[in-house]
Amino acid sequence: MASRRKTPRPFDTSRYLDSDAAVAAYITEALATDDQEAITRAVGAAAKARGMSEIARETGLSRESLYKALSGDGRPQFETVSLVLKALGLRLRAEPARTGGKGKRAA
């Protein structure tokens, strides 16, 4: 009797984002990459972990448009990302990219 090979499931990050701290840490790490696709995917995984229907309701956007925009292949507008982060209970924070030394100021 031939054994059946099981097809591995794709890794689903959202299954492991089970706390606000985990979501914040994951998105913070994605932001540190400066990779728009990684950031978009991270925000999408966090939204999926929280429940895309809930995020859609809180943002006033459709579930379908959120899935598309936050897939990593989409190019979400900043407003969309901002609304999703707010619905997740997160906020963006700016900090100097360089450590030590003085940055140049615009005249």
Q: What is the pTM of this model?
A: 0.81
Using alpha carbons, select from 100, 103, 81 the residue that is nearest to residue 92: 81
> String of b and e for 66-99 (b: at least 16 CB within 10 Å)?
beebbebebebeeebbebbbebbebeeeeeeeee
- pLDDT above 90 as % of the chain: 66
Lowest mean pLDDT among 24-28, 66-70, 86-90, 91-95: 91-95
> Would you place residue 2 in the very low, low, confident or very high pLDDT band (cuts 50, 70, 90)?
low
Q: Where are the beta strands (DSSP E) in 20-90?
A: none
The stretch 59-67 carries a mean pLDDT of 96
Q: Sort 45 into a burial class: Cβ within 10 Å, 0-12 / 13-18 / 19+.
A: buried
Task: Name the residue ranges covered by the structural domains of the chain.
Answer: 14-87
Output the pLDDT for position 3: 66
| pLDDT exceeds 60 at position 33 | yes
